[in-house]
Structure 1
Amino acid sequence: MARSSSWHRMSNFFRKYRKIPHSSFKTKWNENLKQKYAMEELRSGLIADSGSNENDGVLRTLISSFRLHNCEPTPQAYKFVIKTLAKTSQLENIASVLNHIEISEKFDTPESIFRDVIFAYGFSGRIEEAIDVFFKIPNFRCVPSAYTLNALLSVLVRKRQGLKMVPEVLLKASKLGVRLEESTLGILIDALCRIGEVDCATDLVKDMSDDCYIVDPRLYSLLLSSVCKHKDSSCFDVIGYLEGLRKTRFSPDLRDYTAVMRFLVEGGRGKEVVSVLNQMKCDRIEPDIVCYTIILQGVIADEDYKKADKLFDELLLLGLVPDVYTYNVYINGLCKQSDIECGIKMMSCMEKLGSEPNVVTYNILIKALVKAGDMSRAKIIWEEMETNGVDRNSHSYDIMVNASIEADEVVCAHGLLEEAFSRSLVVKSSRTEEVICRLCDKGLMDKAVELLVHLV
């Protein structure tokens, strides 16, 4: 009896003071589970409706999927729907989805949704709509930042027409409180370099430095490569430009120096290339075989053959292994000095050192021999090409056809042209016309007609 009374008092105590547990249907894990099922329903619904272009059909599928599982649509669901619309080219339905988010939803919209919309509109040519979405972001309980601004700029800078809109967009973005970041300016600099506005890009990088932005060193390399691409290589002071960049604490690397060297060689300024090499050594940057090949090309173009010999010896002493391009440049220098024998010996050395001569190597030597009037030796080298498995190209045949014409060996020239045509190689039409005329002069009309058919 006492035990029953004690149990009764304890039961009353527990009933009075116990914590009432939450319903299992209201716990977070259960809500997540319902949202998961709703997303699966949504995916299935979108697949079923993939062939339909009905307006607002995707939005109705989204709402009904989550209503079926008694939960609210999530930002991730809207993000998935927008990506689906973009992939299926249903961009006209994105506006209704955004309108529903703005009016009917209460959550703070993630900025990534607007980034996806901007890309979808922008890459489809709907630039005005992409801009409009960006400036409406505050309406969606979201604060725009450089994250979405960068997305918009990436779209605008793809074409010159869009690039003209950038200043106005930046001005309006600043009024929204969007701060320009280094990445934002990097997008603009990359676009300016791409269209050749290198001076504007240089000024922008300078302004970044003056405003205490952290300038990515890759931007300096981008400026330098753009200068080498768009400026006049015959007169632009690229060395002075490089020195200006160095004053901003930019440390050029091997690739940067290589770009400058190639730029100078293209402009026929071989002597200046040597000064760039000396600066590299001062900066303790070891030039590679590509650098030496470019420098050799420059000094040989300037006919400074003693310097070329010195540079070739230097690269060997440094332990660099010449490749076929290096050998071709050096052999070309030897041939320009009329030292063809040394050029032929150098080709033999190439084979012993494991660098196989290519068609350019043979073309250089054959052209030099033809120019020297040694047609018999040129024909020997010509046959060696075939023996050594080196495929002749159009330039090879052009050299030999021209040599045959000058030697008044018209039948030989005709045979070479026929051989070139059989290998589907294109020979200068003027060269073919000349052979046709010579054949006609010699009364070889049948052969002339054959070539004329090929020419037509």
Structure 2
Amino acid sequence: MGRSSSWHRMSNFFRKYRKIPQSSFKTKWNENLKQKYAMDELRTSLVADSENGVVIRTLISSFHLHNCEPTPQAYRFVIKTLAKSSQLENIASVLNHLEEFEKFDTPESIFRDVIAAYGFSGRIDEAIDVFFKIPNFRCVPSAYTLNALLLVLVRKRTSLELVPEILLKASRMGVRLEESTFGILIDALCRIGEVDCATELVKYMSDDCFIVDPRLYSRLLSSVCKHKDSSCFDVIGYLEDLRKTRFSPGLRDYTAVMRFLVEGGRGKEVVSVLNQMKCDRIEPDIVCYTIVLQGVVADEDYSKADKFFDELLLLGLTPDVYTYNVYINGLCKQNDIEGAIKLVSSMHKLGSEANVVTYNILIKALVKAGDLIRAKALWKEMEKNGVNQNSHTYDIMITAFIDVDEVVSAHGLLEEAFNMNLFVKRSRTEEVISRLCEKDLMDKAVELLAYLV
């Protein structure tokens, strides 16, 4: 009994005088709650257009009111608020206070916001200065903030020239370039047409064991097709060089190359690209076949045009109006106008409708063949089918009427075109005026002259 009694008294003593350790969970929860209330206070108290220095006092007082210290999130909120309200001149004082009085490690996201705010407002020098001062804020800069700065610099060619020096200084700070960094630079170079420099960067990435995003290769190829001379640049050789770096071109890449070759009048090379697609087991779509048809028709290789048109049908592809127009143009160039007209009449059965380009091709072919009567009939058929004539349609018919000396008809079409606000070549109008004067139709000539003025 004595021992039990002594243990009981000792137990009472410890319960009365021991120090109960504070729960870390409760402390953290309480701190988070205070910071939340402080942020709410800051949001309601902060006036973005306050005078310089008031912003800092608002920030500090909001947190002191709730017995806690300002957080990185609070600073980021203040900076974003100032940026949105175009009060960029107050950001410097916020950064100064952050540098001199705070002890926490500043997150990079704050500097990313500041760089973006300065950069996209045209304050390039201030954006650069902030990036190189990042270590002063107990923060280690990385590609995250470097990329933010590069996105600002590459927007204009003048600031793009600063990039090499920025990269050199950044490397001395220990910033390692990442794949995303190269992507920003390559995209910028492609955009301004510096394709050779962009190609060198991609080659460097590949040689230096960086993971090259396949989209960068496609971006290079697209830029080549946009900026290089389509009549002579060896785009097929360029594509082969990209393939050696493990790039597997897709349908869109091959389509871009085909279109580039057609623009340069190199129809025979388009066929070789199509064959390469098939070797790569990439199924050409109707757009590819339409481009190939354009190439062979431009080269006047009509037997191949027939072959490819039959081939696309056998593959189960459905020609669209663009495909038909290319093929109809080929038939008209062969003077097979009857075949072209028959094809137009069968288009509807195959799920396609003739458009103004289709009719322009046929009308031009009929005019060239001297069959103005059928050209007029097609003009009426257009109206019947709800297809509106365009400037080119009017130009074809006006020229045809002038050639057969039907000046009054030409004058009537000119007036129609003017009333529909369609563009008519000045030379064509002047020619009609001249012919009207020759036929002593001065009133009509003066009316047209007024339109011309």
Query: TM-score range with shorter-chain normalisation?
Result: over 0.9
Does residue 265 of structure 2 align to residue 264 of structure 1? no
* Pick aligned residue for 1:73 from 59, 67, 70: 70
| Residue 239, structure 1, aligned to residue 236, structure 2 | yes
CA distance in 2, matches of 1:273, 1:60: 69
Deviation per residue, 1:401-429 (Å, 9 max, x gap) = 11111111111111111111111211111
Deviation of residue 60 (structure 1)? 2.1
**Alignment partners' CA distance in 1, 2:308 and 2:9:** 106
Post-superposition shift, 1:187?
A: 1.0
Match of 1:374 among 363, 371, 375: 371
Q: Which amino acid aligns with 1:387?
A: K
Alignment of 1:25-40 (within 5 A): 27-40=27-40
**TM value normalised by structure 2:** 0.96
Q: CA deviation at 1:11?
A: 2.4
Output the CA distance in 2 between the equivalents of 1:405 and 1:57: 79
For residues 425 and 53 of structure 1, do their structure 2 counterparts lie closer, same or farther at Cα, with a shift above 3 Å needed? Answer: farther
Q: What residue is the counterpart of 2:190 in the other structure?
A: 193
Partner of 2:214: 217
Q: Which residue of 2 aligns with 1:43?
A: 43
Partner SS, residue 146 of structure 2? helix
Tell me the residue number matched to 1:280: 277
- 3-state DSSP class of the match of 2:104? coil
Amino acid at match of 2:17: K
What residue number does 2:175 align with?
178
AA aligned opposite 2:174: G
**2:156 corresponds to 1:163:** no
- Distance (Å, rounded) in 2 between the aligned partners of 1:407 and 1:291: 41
1:13 aligns with 2:14: yes
- Decide which moves more: 164-173 or 53-62: 53-62
CA distance in 1, matches of 2:253, 2:176: 32
What is the aligned counterpart of 2:226 among 219, 225, 229? 229
1: CA distance between counterparts of 2:370 and 2:24?
103
- The normalised TM-score by structure 1 is 0.96
Once the 2 structures are TM-superposed, how far is the Cα of residue 4 of structure 1 from its aligned partner? 11
Counterpart secondary structure, 2:99: helix
**Deviation digits for residues 242-263 of structure 1 (CA, Å, limit 9, x no counterpart):** 1111111111110100000000
Structure 2: runs of 5 or more not aligned: none
Task: Provide the residue aligned with 1:324 in structure 2.
Answer: 321
Task: Trace 1:386-397 onto structure 2 (pairs within 5 A).
Answer: 386-397=383-394
- Which one-letter code corresponds to 1:275 in the other structure? S
**Mapping of residues 114-125 of structure 1, within 5 Å:** 114-125=111-122
- Deviation, 1:163, is 1.1
- The aligned amino acid for 1:295 is V
Deviation at 1:200, TM superposition (A): 1.0
Shift of 1:19: 2.2
| Matched residue SS, 1:27 | helix
Q: CA deviation at 1:16?
A: 3.4
What secondary structure does 1:433 align onto? helix
Would the alpha carbon gap of residues 18 and 136 (structure 1) be closer, same or farther in structure 2, given more than 3 Å must change? closer
Supply the AA of the counterpart residue of 1:285. Answer: I
1:9, CA displacement in angstroms?
5.0
The aligned runs of 1:57-68 (5 Å cut-off) are 57-68=54-65
Q: Which runs of 5+ in 1 are unaligned?
A: none
- Counterpart-to-counterpart distance in 2, 1:203 and 1:353: 48
Structure 1 residues 23 and 223: alpha-carbon distance in aligned structure 2, compared to 1, 3 A threshold: closer
Return the letter of the residue paired with 1:286. Answer: E
Deviations 1:261-290 (A, max 9, x none): 000000000001000011111000000000
User: Aligned letter for 1:452?
Assistant: L
Question: Which residues of 2 match residues 356-435 of structure 1 at below 5 A?
Answer: 356-435=353-432
2: CA distance between counterparts of 1:446 and 1:356? 42
Residue 199 of structure 1, CA deviation: 0.9
Match of 1:305 in 2: 302
State percent identity of aligned pairs.
80
Residue type matched to 2:431 in 1?
E
Q: 1:214 to 1:6 in 2, by over 3 A?
A: closer
How many pairs are equivalent? 451
Q: Residues 367-411 of structure 1, C-alpha deviation per residue, up to 9 Å, x if partnerless?
A: 110111000000000001110000111111111111111111111
1:439 to 431, 436, 439: 436
> What SS class does the counterpart of residue 106 from structure 1 fall into?
coil
Distance between the aligned counterparts of 2:60 and 2:22, measured in 1?
31
- Provide the rounded CA distance (Å) in 2 between the counterparts of 1:57 and 1:409: 82
Partner-residue secondary structure (3-state), 2:38: helix
Amino acid at match of 2:37: Y
Whole-angstrom CA distance in 2 between matches of 1:164 and 1:15: 74
Shift of 1:58: 2.2
C-alpha spacing 1:369/1:23, structure 2 compared with 1 (3 Å): closer
CA deviation vs aligned residue, 1:335-393 (integer Å, no higher than 9, x gap): 00011111111111111112011100000000110111000000000001110000111
